Amino acid sequence: MSGIYIHIPFCKQACHYCDFHFSTSLKKKDELINALSKELELRKNEFKHTTIETIYFGGGTPSLLTNEELQFLIDSIYRHYKVTENPEVTLEANPDDLSNDRITELANSSVNRLSIGIQSFFETDLNLMNRAHNAEEAKACLETATKHFANISLDLIYGIPGASNKHWLKNIEIALSYNIPHISSYALTVEPKTALASFIKKGIIDDVDDEQAHEQFHILKEKLEAEGFIHYELSNFGKDGFFSQNNSAYWKGKSYIGIGPSAHSFNGTQRGWNVSNNSKYIEAIQQKKLPIEVETLTLTDQYNEYIMTGLRTIWGVSLENVEKRFGTKFKDYLNEQSEVFINQHLLYIDDGHLRVTKKGQFLSDGIASELFKINLS
């Protein structure tokens, strides 16, 4: 099983916290879409022997593309790759692009899953983050989208400066009132060189409070689990049957091709990343060159990745798998390193799988890094 990720590097405006690759100028949109289709063709042999099960339009803001433009890219995929009968086709969409007409149009297209960038239902939060939509649009698009799509995910951000736990709980309750089967939620992080980092430095916005973010993570977890959501990955909650197939495949180490500027690819042993510049990307593709840098992962790199992603998910780290893939030395090392965290009730072993406890969940990335700082020969 494999997936195709297509990066759409355009946004209407820059959110203050964002450090993804995008441009707010749409001047090169047509050229870029043609280049994406060309890259799909240039890389068709990479997945000659495998079937595409998921297609994911991420960004940036993929909902800035018209249905015709999306279909043009989907047709390119079908032309050059073997696609399973009913692939999961996800479109990341922002509320200000989801008018009633657009949602109806999308419901009649190949897209069968919407991932909507709500982030918050409150004007104060949306303004602080410089989102392009307002609270009314956030609610209105869900009202209509839920009538046309069964498979919807929404994104929410917690740990926003000035947003109390009560305010956060209200956000979750509003989200739940739409009966959405999947929620992805991330702590607001201050990335260097973003407007948010600069506003905090100048004292215009309060710094994020890690303690409060931690509390809000637990509020989220408790509330969603009580409503029947399964916390299947650190930042992802889904009702049974509604986990993101695309992202689950990443976390299980399956291969994928990333198309477009800044997109990443993985084939099991090599990781690649495309140039993060729209003009350079278009130019290279027009010359039939792939603007990609590739790194071959050592066994240690592969082990580290498995530990990092495994601990973030409900599936955990299979000790048998570690031994099979990496050898007894790695398994013994893992057992030794994890002992201290097991004693602190941050990790536990169940059915041959190492997992984080509820207490350890918010700390899973830090714990993982303690387990993989190794240099085995």
Nearer to ligand SF4, 11 or 142 (CB): 11
Residue closer to ligand SF4, measured from CB, 18 or 363: 18
Where helices occur in the chain by DSSP H, the ranges are 29-42, 67-80, 100-107, 123-129, 135-148, 165-176, 195-201, 210-226, 245-251, 278-286, 299-312, 319-326, 328-343, 364-372
Instruction: Pick one of 6, 15, 89, 93: the residue that binds ligand SF4 (CB under 6 A).
Output: 15
**Site residue total, ligand SF4 (CB under 6 A):** 11
Q: Which of 60, 181, 272, 291 binds ligand SF4 (CB under 6 A)?
A: 60
**195 lines the binding site for ligand SF4 (CB under 6 A):** no
C-alpha closest to that of 35 among 90, 72, 79, 89: 72
Least gap, CB of 168 to ligand SF4 (angstroms): 19
How many residues are present in the chain?
377
One-character DSSP codes across 89-121: EEEEE-GGG--HHHHHHHHTSS--EEEEEEE-S
Whichever of 117 and 181 has its CB closer to ligand SF4, that residue is: 117
- What is the smallest separation between the CB atom of 77 and ligand SF4, expressed in angstroms? 22
Q: How far is the CB of 12 from ligand SF4 (least distance, A)?
A: 8
Q: How far is the CB of 102 from ligand SF4 (least distance, A)?
A: 16
Query: Does an H or E element contain 356, and which?
Result: strand 353-356
CB of 351 to ligand SF4, least distance (A): 38
Whole-angstrom distance, CA of residue 259 vs CA of residue 294: 14
- Cα dihedral 186, 218, 371, 330 in deg (nearest 10): -90
Binders of ligand SF4 among residues 112 to 171 (CB under 6 A) are 117
Q: Which is nearer to ligand SF4, 99 or 357 (CB)?
A: 99
Among the listed residues 6, 11, 35, 205, the single contact to ligand SF4 using CB under 6 A:
11
Q: Cβ 244 to ligand SF4, closest distance in Å?
A: 17
Q: Does 14 help bind ligand SF4 (rule: CB under 6 A)?
A: yes
| C-alpha–C-alpha distance, residues 77 and 80, integer Å | 5
Site for ligand SF4 in 20-59 (CB under 6 A): 20, 22, 59
Instruction: Give the range of 17-25, 133-141, 155-163, 166-174 binding ligand SF4 by CB under 6 A.
Output: 17-25
**Binding pattern for the stretch 102-121 against ligand SF4, x by CB under 6 A and - elsewhere:** ---------------x----
What 3-state DSSP class applies to 238?
strand
Q: Does 360 bind ligand SF4 (CB under 6 A)?
A: no
Q: Does residue 338 contact residue 324 with C-beta atoms inside 8 Å?
A: no
Cα 31 to Cα 236: distance, rounded to the nearest angstrom: 34
Please identify which residue in 2, 23, 61, 244 interacts with ligand SF4, judged by CB under 6 A: 61
> Of 10-18, 48-56, 305-313, 362-370, which part binds ligand SF4 (CB under 6 A)?
10-18
Output DSSP code: residue 233: E
Q: For residues 58 and 238, which CB has a smaller minimum distance to ligand SF4 in the complex?
A: 58
10 DSSP 8-state letter:
B
Using the rule CB under 6 A, is 6 a contact of ligand SF4? no
- Interacting span for ligand SF4 (CB under 6 A) from 18-26, 137-145, 174-182, 263-271: 18-26
**Cβ-based burial of 85 (10 A; exposed 0-12, middle 13-18, buried ≥19):** exposed
User: How far is the C-alpha of 77 from the C-alpha of 83, rounded, in Å?
Assistant: 8
Share of the chain residues as helix, strand and coil, in percent rounded to the nearest 5: 45, 25, 30
The contact set with ligand SF4 (CB under 6 A) reads 11, 14-15, 18, 20, 22, 59-61, 94, 117
